Amino acid sequence: MAFAAGWTPACRNAVLGGAIGVAAFAGLLLATSPFQASAQQPIVIKFSHVTTPDTPKGKGAEKFKELGEKYTGGKVKIEVYPNSQLYKDKEEIEALQLGAVQMLAPSTSKFAPIGVKEFEGLDLPFIFPDEAAYLKATKGPVGKALLQKLDAKGIAGLAFWDNGFHMISANKPLRKPKDLQGLKIRISGSKVADAYLRAMGALPQIIAFSELYQALQTGVVDGCENTPSNYYTQKLHEVQKHINVMNHAHLSYAVIVNKRFWDALPADVRPQLEKAMQEATDYTDAIASKENADALGAIKASGKSEVYEPTKAEREEWREALVATYKNVEGRVGKDIIRDLQAAVLSQ
């Protein structure tokens, strides 16, 4: 396990001992500089994430590693830890705040536990009619305002990364909203998803991404929603008989860093990393649609699950039912965020 230069042995032991959440460790982190750059010892950025390397996020993380190491001429070493191998969904944000890892890209549905509920506006069903609308909104003022809300939590938000639209699945066909009645559906954490599924009569349950396949296989939950690339790389289509390509909610990631670490980076390092992040973001956003289309093709070709494309009328019925649930969450997400997202979409 490599550590950022300048970490004290006590810090290292605290991390190695898995002592996340221990107040003494948090105190140490506050009292010491996160690193001191030296020519001999590169600054280490640990980038932890939960998907496989062959997803838009996995490929984006590798692209950032490649460019970040190149642009900083060896001053920075970027270690990518995919597949929840270091931390699961909730633990990874705690680890970032404590400085045990420096960079993550959680889906925006996972920010509520740290008190930034506004991010869940990005999970609203049918808020984005297409990828172009999503990109417009997140790259514009409302996207920037959302990232800035993380500052107060000791987190710097660097970018949004795209991973397409959600499908929804179960072991029975889901053609109409009423087909969800009584089904236990896995969600990743968003109260917005909880609200819209509950309003359809489903029983949403938060389960970590790394545990989803098993939860579906053993019947802990009946169904789930996710993007084609996540279904395919987690083999979810092998344990779900019916998939509806609804494209209802969008899966966005916020790439985030420990703010104290980021702010303390030397002047000859941070701009290079910002450039690398900008290019890795453009790359990820450019490949996301094709990655998801290819994954959907592979799921169909596997024959393991019936993949259903809803008719225009069916999609409209779902849209009306789900959009009606915005009112259930506007107090939580914020009317202004919903309004700003809708205005950004309309301004296309």
- Residues contributing to the site for ligand LMR (CB under 6 A): 50-51, 57, 89, 107, 163, 188, 209, 226, 230, 251
Q: At residue 253, what are phi and psi to the nearest 5 degrees?
A: -110, 145
Q: Are 38 and 32 in contact (CB under 8 A)?
A: no
Whole-number Å distance between alpha carbons of 209 and 228:
14
Whole-number Å distance between alpha carbons of 254 and 79:
18
**Shortest distance, position 9 Cβ to ligand LMR, whole Å:** 33
**Shortest distance, position 37 Cβ to ligand LMR, whole Å:** 31
Whole-number Å distance between alpha carbons of 270 and 262:
7
Which residue carries 């690193």 as its tokens? 35
Looking at the Cβ atoms of 71 and 81, the one nearer to ligand LMR is 81
**Shortest distance, position 159 Cβ to ligand LMR, whole Å:** 15
> Which spans in 228-347 are helix H?
228-234, 259-263, 270-302, 312-323, 326-333, 335-346
**Shortest distance, position 318 Cβ to ligand LMR, whole Å:** 20
**Shortest distance, position 267 Cβ to ligand LMR, whole Å:** 32
Looking at the Cβ atoms of 112 and 251, the one nearer to ligand LMR is 251
Question: In this structure, what is the dihedral angle of CA atoms 202, 208, 210, 212, given to the nearest 10 degrees?
Answer: -10
**Shortest distance, position 21 Cβ to ligand LMR, whole Å:** 22
**Shortest distance, position 34 Cβ to ligand LMR, whole Å:** 25
Looking at the Cβ atoms of 26 and 298, the one nearer to ligand LMR is 298
Whole-number Å distance between alpha carbons of 326 and 195:
9
Looking at the Cβ atoms of 190 and 325, the one nearer to ligand LMR is 190
Looking at the Cβ atoms of 55 and 102, the one nearer to ligand LMR is 55
Whole-number Å distance between alpha carbons of 259 and 337:
24
Phi-psi region of 347 (alpha: psi -120 to 50; beta: other; left: phi over 0): alpha
Looking at the Cβ atoms of 161 and 262, the one nearer to ligand LMR is 161
Looking at the Cβ atoms of 230 and 272, the one nearer to ligand LMR is 230
Can you list the positions of beta strands (E) in 87-183? 103-104, 155-165, 167-170
Amino acid at 203: L
Q: Which two tokens stand for residue 96?
A: 């970032």
C-alpha separations of 194 from 120, 133, 292 in Å: 11, 24, 24
